[in-house]
Amino acid sequence: MMAQSGNIKELSIWILITCLLLLAGIVILGLGVWYYRRRWLGSDETAGTPWTLEDLRRLRDQGDLSEEEYETMRAAMISALGAGSSKPDPASTPADADDSGRQ
């Protein structure tokens, strides 16, 4: 009878340790999923919303931007938009020269 109670005690300790290790593994896995979702999926919210000139005006009107900061950021946005356009400059196109020679 004493031998059986010793085996039951060892078995219950082994089951307890196994359950604690499984629980720790589940917690670590859950933290990993939480970190992954926060790091990779949460960053899309801010990256997907571009700034507009209206946003800058609102920040200036609220006092979050000084007039100098507003002008600097406004000029940078306008130059970035100008650099990204694929339309040719009308002053450099030879379309007017071709039309003037035709009758």
Residue 21, token pair as written in the block: 């290790």
Task: Write the CB contacts of 57 (distance below 8 Å, at least 6 apart in sequence).
Answer: 70
Question: How do the domains of the chain map onto residue ranges?
Answer: 1-36, 51-84
Would you give per-residue pLDDT tens digits along the chain (103 residues)? 455 777 889 999 999 999 999 999 999 999 999 988 888 876 555 555 577 889 999 999 999 989 999 999 999 888 887 876 555 555 554 554 455 445 4
Largest CA distance in the chain: 119
Per the CB < 8 A criterion, the answer to whether 56 and 65 are in contact is yes
Per the CB < 8 A criterion, the answer to whether 53 and 79 are in contact is no
- Cα distance between residue 23 and residue 42, in whole Å: 27
Instruction: Give the model's pLDDT for residue 47.
Output: 53
- Taking the CA atoms of the chain, what radius of gyration do you get in angstroms? 34
